[in-house]
Each structure stands twice: as C-alpha cells, then as structure tokens.
Amino acid sequence: MDKYEKLQLFKYIWNRADAQTKEQLRFLLEREAISRGIIKNIYNRH
C-alpha cells in the first residue's frame, strides 16, 4: 500500500468517524508523528 492509498483509506475512515473516534485517531497520529520525529511534542513547547 503506497502513501496515496493510505491517505485515501484514512480519509474514508475519518469521514465516517464519530467525535470520539476522531479524537483517538488524532492522538494516535500525533504520537506516531512524534515518534518519527516529524513533529516535536506539542506539550513541550516552552
């Protein structure tokens, strides 16, 4: 599965998700991005 396919799958899930599911997805995506060094932890922005 390439990046485009992953993005399409994510959009499909996101557009059908309720608020609680979106919050969980947001948390997981943020954690993944932090672990890959894509973004810095937003809670350590001093």
The DSSP annotation for the chain comes to --HHHHHHHHHHHHHH--HHHHHHHHHHHHHHHHHTTSS--GGG--
State the pLDDT at residue 37.
Answer: 82
Instruction: List, for the chain, all residue ranges whose pLDDT scores fall below the cut of 70.
Output: 41-46
Per-residue model confidence (pLDDT) at position 21: 93
Quick count: other Cβ atoms within 10 Å of Cβ 29? Answer: 13
**What is the pLDDT, as a whole number, of residue 13?**
92
